[in-house]
Amino acid sequence: MFFIALIYIILDSIETISMTANIVTYFHTPNIIGGEEIQAEKMQFYLILACAARTLKIFLLKLI
């Protein structure tokens, strides 16, 4: 049970950090040519990471 709680906390931290990074990336647009594409790719990566962490948290809770 301790390890399940530990994994849940780690996944929750990953989700929180990913969403925070997504918000920071949104408000920090690079002033270079193609900066919007770089920003979009970063935001997509952080969003996928957050969704994966949330999905794993749901599966972990169903195991209990």
The whole-number pLDDT of residue 48 equals: 94
Question: Two tokens at 22?
Answer: 């997504």
The burial class, CB within 10 Å (0-12 / 13-18 / 19+), for 25 is: buried
- pTM for this predicted structure: 0.80
pLDDT of 63 > 90? The answer is no
CA pair distance 30, 36, nearest whole angstrom: 7
> Cβ(15)–Cβ(53) under 8 Å?
yes
Question: Two tokens at 13?
Answer: 């931290």
pLDDT digits (tens, 9 = 90+) for 10-58: 999 999 999 999 888 888 776 777 778 888 888 999 999 999 999 999 9
Instruction: Enumerate the domain spans of the chain.
Output: 2-63
pLDDT tier, 1 (very low <50, low <70, confident <90, very high otherwise): confident
> Cβ(4)–Cβ(46) under 8 Å?
no
> Cβ(5)–Cβ(63) under 8 Å?
no
